[in-house]
Chains A and B, each alone.
Chain A
Amino acid sequence: MALLTVDSLQVSFTTRNGTHQAVKGVSFSVEPRKLTAIIGESGSGKSVSCYAMLGLIPTPPGRIDGGTALFDGRDLLSLSEGELRAIRGRDIAMIFQDPMTCLNPFMTIGEQLIEPLLVHQKLPKKQATERAIALLDEVGIRAPETTFNAYPHEFSGGMRQRVMIAMALINEPRLLIADEPTTALDVTIQAQILKLIAELQKKRDIGVLFISHDLAVVADIADHIVVMEQGEVVEQGAPSDLFSAAKHPYTQKLLDAIPTGQRVSTLTDPKPLIEVQQLRTWFYPNAKAAPVKAVDDVSLTIHRGEILGLVGESGSGKSTLGRALLRLAPITDGQVSFDGTRVTDLEGNGLKEFRRRMQMIFQDPFASLNPRMTVYDTLAEPLLLHGICAKSELDRVIARLMDDVGLAHSFIRKYPHEFSGGQRQRIAIGRALATKPEFIVADEPVSALDVTIQAQILDLLMDLGSEYGLTMLFISHDMAVIRHIADRIVVMYNGRLVEQGSTDQVFNAPKEAYTQSLLASIPGAALQ
């Protein structure tokens, strides 16, 4: 018998702008000892469905319009708030995307762990502590006795997520709902957490409902996959069936959006556009402390017309390196030369001209656009600043830019908040291309986007790259994306360059142990 059976669940939100049907008759079930994954992009209603049945959506504006959610023979949707509270956290536990916001920074990990035991189960403190320590050990935290008295900020993201999992398991739930639990984590850590969840589920006999936007992440661990689009379940089934014979076009679209294949380098020009010699960017938090070596002795060259992929995990210094090349981050020592000019020495107008020739595309298109400037203003600014075109031609040039990045002309007077993430990233790309640069640093330009949008933006970048004859430094933590787009790859770890080579070499014959572990962490082996 299924642990949880959701049948034609309907949820709507009523706002000033009318009623929005977020979930339109969704049905699925979670079997005990199985992992059910719900896949969908932002706005697909995947999270709303799960939060609604636990009474976790604000009502109003939210409203459950119909359906049932049978858990243990009881309909969750008809329970009172008090009865639901008794189920939440005891029989059904949740883990979330960002573990930091879910932990109280002023309480030790231990205090937070044993709180439910003291409150709900009225266990004596000693017994509760023993149980918490055993659990910390089980989720793979080293030296759990010491950890017990530590505060959340003393942990890395991966460790915090382990603590969150321990907290979810402390009352021995039968159903675990995991909402994008690995999205905020590095690839190698993500692989570990996915493995941990799969292990715990087998060992503890619990059903898991795993919400994710990324098909590759759940491909290896799911027993059953539910694909949602715009509030509806479009397809569900076993992963093997779904991957080999997707029936619904949307599922096929999701599968196609996973970056595959390897770029075949067609590079002929051996002339380096950018030469970096022993670049160092050290930050000094205060006079006495040791410097933080964000970038340490990095030397590399980027050839004209090349897309160089820069891979590394958070804290590896990859973004700082990209910014240092553009003089957006300080350079402590070393040389950067661009087309024969020493960038490090430039000042005033020389620097301004150099900025015209090198541009940047940022990760988060919600932060990189001025919220009070329309598309027109945003695109006009670089054009006017550098005198790229006469004022009389401004409208025509802006219209061409919008065509190039695939934005409809009718958007010209709109503000950034009126656009989706993908459209915003197109505006940001348009702004970077406005000055007709020769070199672009793209810092994780697709990692904040939905999978299908990600594929579109990658294609756009590759097309524009060849159209404008761009040289690009493409920074990413995602190996599949890098493999898809880059001619050559450099790998960074702890501020240092650990490996470089052609895409083929790095993927098929990695020399360094770190590169090997990165490659081993790529999720979605079942998809290949």
Chain B
Amino acid sequence: MSQTTGSAANLLDQAEQGSSLWQDAWRRLRKNKLAVAGGAILILLMIVALLTPWLAPYNYETQDLDLGATPPSAQHWLGTDIFGRDLLTQIMYGGRVSLAVGFIATAVALLIGVTWGAVAGYVGGKVDAVMMRLVDILYALPFMIFIVLLMVVFGRNVLLLFLAIGAVEWLTMARIMRSQVQSLRQQEFVEAAISLGLGPAAILRRHVVPNALGPIIVYTTLTIPSVMLLEAFLSFLGLGIQPPQTSWGLLISYGAETMEEYPWLLIFPGLALTITLFSLNFLGDGLRDALDVRGSKD
């Protein structure tokens, strides 16, 4: 792209900042009480996760084998596990891992998937064929082998876990985005943008991606919980987080083993995950509606 096109694109983006789509979306979102509540709960959870080392009532490693599993009490609000560790502390530390995995891995998936799908769908032809075949190949690769290979080569660490999960989750995202873009680029308003002289990058950014956001947002809010559960599964197999470190997924799977004797060990971590998922879904639905300008104005 030449100099002139670049500066023109800058001007367009400046105009977009004053533009009403995002402002209108924000105004509509604020009116949706469920979505606002969902967003508030998520923010609260994240703040708690960040401040956990200072907020947590106990040390998450300290065991008290004499105490053992106790139901909720004044000292231990949510009870203790079989090793006498405070459950509230465990859930708070577990939330750090689960939220980080959920959001970072999904963000990775979102970034790669949306870009990949948008380019493949918009350019089409051979580029599209090659890009999508690559996606198919990755789809066909057994996920477990992929993760085990990564662990073997790079050693086990949490960051790698984020990347590994993200690297798998973007595939579906790319497919959704591609089909959206394919139908959008047939639209006359995209043809109108071409005839105005807009370049492909500007058309994608200004005309195509904003119109494909609805399904992407919904899929994102579904991806975050599935990523959290995936982490639990990997950790359970010994490929993810290792005790004494913990996550909601791990707490739930341990809780499930002992749910007949100590039901609170399953109920409370389960509740934490459920609240997060509900908040995400409400926020996601709200965002989708808010970004749809055809929704009612008031």
User: B-side binding surface: helix, strand, loop or mixed?
Assistant: helix
Residues of B within 8 A of A364 (CB): 188
Residues of B within 8 A of A372 (CB): 21, 210-211, 291, 293
Which of A16, A328, A371 has the most B CB atoms < 10 Å from its CB?
Answer: A371
Contact in complex: A370, B211 (CB < 8 Å): yes
List the one stretch of A99-107, A351-359, A510-518 in contact with chain B: A351-359
The 10 closest A-B pairs by CB, nearest first: A355-B197, A368-B188, A367-B188, A352-B197, A415-B293, A370-B189, A384-B11, A362-B188, A360-B195, A382-B196
Name A385's contact: one of B198, B210, B293 (CB within 8 Å).
Answer: B198
Interchain Cβ contacts under 8 Å between A and B, 9 examples:
A368-B191, A370-B206, A370-B207, A372-B21, A373-B21, A376-B19, A380-B15, A381-B15, A431-B192
Residues of A within 8 A of B193 (CB): 370, 381
Interface residues of B in 194-227 (CB under 8 A from A): 194-198, 206-207, 210-211
Contact in complex: B8, A417 (CB < 8 Å): no
Name A391's contact: one of B14, B19, B207 (CB within 8 Å).
Answer: B14
CA distance A328 to B196 in the complex (A): 11
CA distance A435 to B195 in the complex (A): 11
CA distance A417 to B291 in the complex (A): 14
Contact in complex: A359, B195 (CB < 8 Å): yes
CA distance A382 to B207 in the complex (A): 13
B73 located at the interface, meaning its Cβ lies under 8 Å from any Cβ of chain A in the complex: no
A413 located at the interface, meaning its Cβ lies under 8 Å from any Cβ of chain B in the complex: yes
Name A371's contact: one of B11, B197, B198, B294 (CB within 8 Å).
Answer: B294
CB distance from B163 to the nearest CB of A (A): 33
CA distance A370 to B15 in the complex (A): 16
Residues of B within 8 A of A367 (CB): 187-189
Q: A328-B191, A373-B21, A385-B198 are in contact. Are A391 and B11 (CB under 8 A)?
A: yes
Contact in complex: A385, B192 (CB < 8 Å): no
Residues of B within 8 A of A351 (CB): 197
Residues of A within 8 A of B75 (CB): none
Contact in complex: A349, B2 (CB < 8 Å): yes
Contact in complex: A381, B195 (CB < 8 Å): no
Residues of B within 8 A of A262 (CB): none
Contact in complex: A385, B189 (CB < 8 Å): no
B12 located at the interface, meaning its Cβ lies under 8 Å from any Cβ of chain A in the complex: yes
Q: Residues of B at under 8 Å CB distance from A?
A: 2, 4-5, 8, 11-12, 14-16, 19-21, 187-189, 191-198, 206-207, 210-211, 291, 293-294, 296
User: Considering only CB atoms, which chain A residue lies closest to B11 in the complex?
Assistant: A384
Contact in complex: B192, A368 (CB < 8 Å): yes
CB distance from B242 to the nearest CB of A (A): 46
Residues of B within 8 A of A413 (CB): 20
A249 located at the interface, meaning its Cβ lies under 8 Å from any Cβ of chain B in the complex: no
CA distance A376 to B23 in the complex (A): 14
CB distance from A328 to the nearest CB of B (A): 6
CA distance A358 to B197 in the complex (A): 10
Q: Residues of A at under 8 Å CB distance from B?
A: 16-17, 323, 326, 328, 348-349, 351-353, 355-356, 358-360, 362-364, 367-374, 376-377, 380-382, 384-387, 391, 394, 413, 415, 417, 428, 431, 435
User: Considering only CB atoms, which chain B residue lies closest to A441 in the complex?
Assistant: B195
Which of A326, A353, A385 has the most B CB atoms < 10 Å from its CB?
Answer: A385
CA distance A323 to B195 in the complex (A): 9
Contact in complex: B2, A428 (CB < 8 Å): no
CA distance A387 to B8 in the complex (A): 7
CA distance A328 to B5 in the complex (A): 20
Contact in complex: A328, B210 (CB < 8 Å): no
Residues of B within 8 A of A387 (CB): 4, 8, 11
CB distance from A314 to the nearest CB of B (A): 16
CB distance from B190 to the nearest CB of A (A): 8
Residues of B within 8 A of A385 (CB): 8, 11-12, 196-198
Contact in complex: B195, A328 (CB < 8 Å): yes
CA distance A373 to B206 in the complex (A): 9
Please name 9 further chain A to chain B contacts, defined as beta carbons within 8 Å, in addition to the given A360-B192, A373-B206, sorted by A numbering. A328-B191, A353-B197, A360-B195, A362-B191, A368-B188, A369-B189, A373-B21, A384-B11, A387-B8
Q: A372-B293, A417-B293 are in contact. Are A349 and B192 (CB under 8 A)?
A: no
CB distance from A106 to the nearest CB of B (A): 23
CB distance from A446 to the nearest CB of B (A): 15
User: Considering only CB atoms, which chain B residue lies closest to A368 in the complex?
Assistant: B188
CA distance A465 to B193 in the complex (A): 22
Residues of A within 8 A of B210 (CB): 370, 372
Residues of A within 8 A of B12 (CB): 381, 384-385
CB distance from B237 to the nearest CB of A (A): 44
CB distance from A433 to the nearest CB of B (A): 12
